Amino acid sequence: MDIILGFHNDKEALFKDEMRAWNNCVNLIATTDIPSEDEFFESGLVTEYLDTVDIREKKDLRVVIVGSPVVIRSVGQIFTELGLTKQQIWVCYERRVSSGNCQCEHCRVTRPFCCQYGPVFRYDKALTMER
């Protein structure tokens, strides 16, 4: 398993101890926009480290993208260009969810509401839901 996480800076990174522990069992890369003095953190954007993921066994690979719409689009595009199908990619629109009660319309990408039928959607479906 590979986990690539992006933070603005190392001070805002949560679960630092847990990330260091996870790094013993998975390939975990934590990046920061602002370079860190902590050697655990790499500098740069998440998209700069996607080529560290071993995609030779493409058919068994699944990708989950959590982040802003820009991150979702960028990472999804890169993985599809690397040969993954849109059915192998899942995206999370949790950041759009506010009340979670299907009343406020905060999460309405389009119908269906994210809070009702998501917030995790397969990438091919999510692309048809974008505003």
Tokens of 88: 């192998």
The residue count for binding ligand FES (CB under 6 A) is: 13
Nearer to ligand FES by C-beta: 80 or 116? 116
Question: Distance between CA atoms of 57 and 95, rounded to whole angstroms?
Answer: 31
Query: Which one, 50 or 97, has the nearer CB to ligand FES?
Result: 97
Residue 26, class by beta-carbon neighbours within 10 Å (0-12 exposed, 13-18 middle, 19+ buried)? Answer: exposed
Question: Per residue, what are the HEC states of 20-41?
Answer: HHHCCCCEEEEEECCCCCCCCE
Candidate residues 90, 113, 121, 123; the one interacting with ligand FES per rule CB under 6 A: 113
Binding segment (CB under 6 A) for ligand FES, from list 21-29, 49-57, 63-71, 113-121:
113-121
CB of 97 to ligand FES, least distance (A): 4
Q: Segment 80-109, which members bind ligand FES (CB under 6 A)?
A: 97-100, 102-107
For residues 9 and 42, what is the distance between their CA atoms, to the nearest angstrom?
10
Q: Which residues are near ligand FES by CB under 6 A?
A: 97-100, 102-107, 113-115
